[in-house]
Chains A and B, each alone.
Chain A
Amino acid sequence: MKTCLIVDDSNVIRKVARRVLKGLGFEIVEAEHGGHALEVCSRSLPDAILLDWNMPVMDGYEFLGNLRRMPGGDQPIVIFCTTENDVGHIARALYAGANEYIVKPFDKEIIATKFAEVGLIDFSQLPPA
């Protein structure tokens, strides 16, 4: 089973994301901010990370930089999931090594198609359009 780390300071968002991603067959780990997420990753690297930008302690951008410098840290597929929707933020995220980018609000379909596009799930798992 693939694992997905959900990093978001809102427990409502984590709960919604957890439900969607469980439905897609992931084992879920949660973190409330980037510092916590780094701890989780140093114990065991997940296959996928759904990452918020603005969080206390350490934001998603800083976390991503740290993750990519860790041994094996280039492996997890990182999908930003944030309200920051301007091209400047998106370009910075890509530069820091993000694989994809979702602008909130998201729903099940958006998550599922993005996860399929980056190869984390099979297209056959998508609900028919």
Chain B
Amino acid sequence: MTPSDFEYLRKLLRDQSGLDLSADKQYLIESRLVPLAKNSSLAGISELVQKMKGGSSLLVTQVVEAMTTNETFFFRDKVPFDHFPDVIIPDILRARSSRKSIRIWCAAGSTGQEPYSLAMCLREMGTALVGWRIEIVATDLSKEVLEKSKAGIYSQFEVQRGLPIQLLVKYFKQQGELWQINDDIRAMVQHRQLNLLHDFSQLGTFDVVFCRNVLIYFDQETKTNIFGRLAKATAADGYLVLGAAESVVGLTDSFQPCLDRRGLYRPTASASSKRIAISGAFVPSTAALARP
């Protein structure tokens, strides 16, 4: 891969998915894109870049998807999945007692472990939710992971990570070496393809937004922009849940951390004033990329 191939890919990925690749991540491009080039009968990354420059939009999509990290597992980091039934949902139940509906968004749902963990949490809450309308919307940039999420079929290795064995037996059907999540849980989750760089105001507002382990791949400016728009998509009395290594500190004044509740954030008063002002898609500036 030549330096100009690297620059081309770096800019493309930043524009298409927000992925912020530093110069020391060349190996990541090699390890993900050499197999893709081979599959497309191309000799290597330079040929792949040539073909993309020639205007193959299918290839661009494939490259962008191949460069996403889809790592996820059931009940990842555990703490948010304790907060969800213990803090978040009881609070929303009080706040929405007249409307009796809850909207939940997994903004980077990947292969489904996160939205299905939430769905199982809700099932485990039993009668508290009888008569409530609950929507879980799982979105992701990658079509491939969404397909897997929709199917809800997991390997032994995947169900072994994070999923308590009692919940496996209760909510999954065994199919040979694989496990499929039960239809009633699957039906609780709707899937949509969505790039967080693009406008998502059409999804409406949510009471709970899980946006975990995706913003870590973006640069500061992109994170700030997304937080601003997420604040608009989060009800004023709703919750945002981030990954264990993520925070809003120094990036936005639209959310503030909940004291003693790691990973939980709530919109601030300043976010409500912006709820009308911010809208539209985000185009990351590429000025910084002009220099190698």
List chain A positions with a Cβ less than 8 A from chain B.
85-87, 90-91, 94, 98, 100-103, 110, 113-114, 116-117, 123, 128-129
A90 to B165, Cβ gap below 8 A?
Answer: yes
In the complex, chain A residues whose CB is within 8 Å of the CB of B177 = 85
Q: Contacts A85-B156, A85-B177: A100 and B165 contacting too (C-beta < 8 A)?
A: yes
Beyond A94-B165, A94-B166, list 11 extra A-B contacts (CB 8 Å): A87-B174, A90-B165, A90-B168, A91-B169, A94-B169, A103-B156, A110-B157, A113-B162, A117-B162, A129-B73, A129-B76
Q: Which residue of A lies closest to B161 (CB)?
A: A113
Count of interface residues, chain B, beta-carbon cutoff 8 Å:
20
Could you name 26 residue pairs across A and B whose Cβ atoms are closer than 8 Å? Answer: A85-B156, A85-B177, A86-B174, A90-B165, A90-B169, A94-B165, A94-B166, A94-B169, A98-B165, A100-B164, A100-B165, A102-B160, A103-B156, A103-B160, A110-B157, A113-B161, A113-B162, A114-B160, A116-B78, A117-B75, A117-B78, A117-B162, A123-B77, A123-B78, A123-B79, A129-B73
Does B260 sit at the interface, judged by CB under 8 A?
no
Q: Is the CB of B169 within 8 A of A87?
A: yes
Please tell me if B71 contacts chain A, counting CB pairs below 8 Å.
Answer: yes
Chain B residues near A110: list those with CB within 8 A. Answer: 157, 160-161
5 tightest CB-CB pairs across the interface, nearest first? A101-B165, A87-B174, A103-B156, A100-B165, A110-B160
Cα distance, A105 to B212, chains bound together (Å): 30
A103 CB, min distance to chain B CBs, angstroms? 5
Report how far A64 CA is from B76 CA in the complex, Å: 30
Bound-state CA distance A128–B245 (Å) is 10
State in angstroms the CA–CA spacing of A114 and B74 once bound together: 12
| Residue in chain A with minimal CB distance to B79 | A123
In whole angstroms, how far apart are the Cα atoms of A49 and B210 in the complex? 36
C-alpha spacing A111/B5, complex, angstroms? 42
Q: Which residues of A contact B76 (CB under 8 A)?
A: 129
Q: Which residues of A contact B73 (CB under 8 A)?
A: 129
A98 cross-chain contacts in B, Cβ below 8 A? 165
CB-defined contacts of B166 to chain A, threshold 8 Å:
94
Binary flags per residue of B77-102, CB closer than 8 Å to A gives 1, else 0: 11100000000000000000000000
Complex contacts, B160 vs chain A, CB 8 Å: 102-103, 110, 114
The listed residue (B71, B157, B169) touching A129 by CB distance below 8 A is B71
Chain A residues in 8 Å Cβ range of B169: 87, 90-91, 94
List B162-183 residues whose CB lies under 8 Å from chain A: 162, 164-166, 168-169, 174, 177
